[in-house]
Structure 1
Amino acid sequence: MVPKDNDEFRPIDDIVQVIETVADNYIPTEEAEEFNDETTGIRRRLRRALAVTSDAQFREAVDDYNKAVERLRLSGSLAKTLDETQRINLPWVERILNQTYARTVSPRVESLRQYENGTDNVYGELLPRFISNIFKETKLKSGQVFVDLGSGVGNVVLQAALEIGCESWGCEMMANACDLAELQQAEFKARCRLWGIAPGKTHLVRGDFLEQDSIINVLKRADVVLINNQAFTPQLNNELINHFLDMKEGCKIVSLKSFVPAGHKIQSRNLNSPINLLKVQQKNYWSNSVSWTDVGGTYFIATKDSSRLKAFMDDSF
């Protein structure tokens, strides 16, 4: 159960993290001492066994955990605690997503490095904590629709379905990423069943998001659209802007590069530009938010708001 190098999956760590997640989220308060006591709790015993490299102590703690969980399962306590849970917290979300990723994407991650610099097909990931903050900033809710354009291996699509419980869509054209996204989706559904969680429905579409009918149609009812356009060519960014015309009022478009140039003003000569319909806020993200750098940066939330254009036209004409 010991990995060959530091980058490989560590089963023992996974066991400990699963037990800690269960202790934090599934165990009723009156039963928590058996798991969380600082001296005799199962979590403390696991850590102690690892510290002294005792296989026997580790196995004993795991056996006691299994017996305790089975007892609570049979009594209905686990199901009751889960039913009373209103929202899945980020560490819990990350545990399920990491389990899914480790078993599907990680063993095949080399296939994602086959991209072309200077094209639209450059792979990079937005990390869960950053994405969770985007969900908060856009006030994404369970009854809404989320769309990720350029969804890669599907990480954000799965996170939205799990953390928010919303209908979640993604579209990707790189074949290798699509293959891994489909593996992730299948593993994700199985993992959620094991954890007793019902996520929102996920839809993964292969192909060019400018041409796929299913994506064009869902954009018309989307509430939040994510576009990781950090490496998109100017041509693709310009083509995307025309699709904003069909989005509903109040739809929020999150991007790493703004679709509205700094200092843009509505004028008579640019009345027909789709960017006049967008009200933009610049936000900051911090270190460890994206896969390609540890440095923080900026991102943008554009809200479709026709009132500014209407006000200009009312004043001008």
Structure 2
Amino acid sequence: MQSRLHDEDTFIDLGSGVGQVVLQVASSTPCKLCYGIEKADVPYLYSVQMDVNFNKWMQWYGKTFSEYKLEKGDFLSEEMRERINKASIIFVNNFAFGPSVDHQLKERFANLKEGAKIVSSKAFCPLNFKITNRNLNDVGSIMRVQEIKPMGGSVSWTGKPVTYYLHTIDRTQRGAILTDFM
């Protein structure tokens, strides 16, 4: 997949762990801001060291990178709502999240701007989601979802290739259905 991130994009990693995804995006794209938030103490402490090493090596090699920030906190907190709403690209490794966290994330994603993208390790709605008058309030009614198959040689935290899902906020489908019901 070719990089299509631009200098007006804001990238957020929800549950950024040690920060490697945020640093990779910052080093390889012109994003306006790359942001990561991690709740767990141990991964966050490792991200502090990753930050130091990243800056040292980027300076050593004379490489430029996008502005980024790694923070400790809860991506489900009220303070994060606005930041999530303004993001153009969100990454969330929700593979191990339970239904409650996934549901809360779906509620947050309902307010994303048109065209915003979410990359996740577990789909937030079925690939074959069909909009009906019974599910118009489901976040699936404003998302186009596609499966991203693993590329050869890819790596993951499991030691096996992982499939990701790309969700694009697209309210046009829902609008057409609403018109049909009126």
TM-score by length of 2: 0.92
Aligned partner of 1:239 among 94, 97, 104: 104
Partner residue, 1:290: 156
SS of 1:231 mapped into structure 2: coil
Partner residue, 2:61: 195
Partner residue, 1:175: 41
Q: Which has the higher contact order (CA 8 A, sep 6+)?
A: 2
Matches within 5 A, 1:107-118: none
Structure 1 runs not aligned, ≥5 long = 1-132
Tell me which moved more, 156-165 or 184-193.
184-193
Tell me which moved more, 233-242 or 193-202.
193-202
Give, in whole Å, the separation in 1 of the partners of 2:20 and 2:162.
Answer: 21
Structure (1/2) with the larger strand percentage: 2
SS of 1:263 mapped into structure 2: coil
* Cα offset, 1:293, TM superposition: 2.1
Among the aligned pairs, what percent are the same residue?
A: 31
Alignment-mate amino acid for residue 293 of structure 1: G
Alignment-mate amino acid for residue 313 of structure 1: L
Partner residue, 1:256: 121
Larger gyration radius, structure 1 or structure 2 = 1
Alignment-mate amino acid for residue 206 of structure 1: K
Alignment-mate amino acid for residue 13 of structure 2: D
Partner residue, 2:146: 281
Matches within 5 A, 1:111-190: 133=1, 136=2, 139-166=4-31, 167-190=33-56
Alignment-mate amino acid for residue 74 of structure 2: D
* Cα offset, 1:299, TM superposition: 1.4
Alignment-mate amino acid for residue 51 of structure 2: Q
8 Å CA contact 2:23–2:54 kept in 1: the answer is: yes
8 Å CA contact 1:140–1:223 kept in 2: the answer is: no
Matches within 5 A, 1:1-317: 133=1, 136=2, 139-166=4-31, 167-211=33-77, 213=79, 215-286=80-151, 287-294=153-160, 296-317=161-182
Give, in whole Å, the separation in 2 of the partners of 1:144 and 1:313.
Answer: 30
* Cα offset, 1:262, TM superposition: 4.3
Give, in whole Å, the separation in 1 of the partners of 2:44 and 2:75.
Answer: 13
Alignment-mate amino acid for residue 46 of structure 2: L
Alignment-mate amino acid for residue 291 of structure 1: W
Q: In angstroms, what is the RMSD of aligned CA positions?
A: 1.6
CA deviations over 1:229-279 (Å, ceiling 9, x no partner)? 111112111110000122111001001111012432111122212221111
8 Å CA contact 1:223–1:250 kept in 2: the answer is: yes
Give, in whole Å, the separation in 1 of the partners of 2:8 and 2:55.
Answer: 19
* Cα offset, 1:223, TM superposition: 1.3
Q: How many residues align?
A: 180
Structure (1/2) with the larger helix percentage: 1
Give, in whole Å, the separation in 2 of the partners of 1:209 and 1:164.
Answer: 23
TM-score by length of 1: 0.54
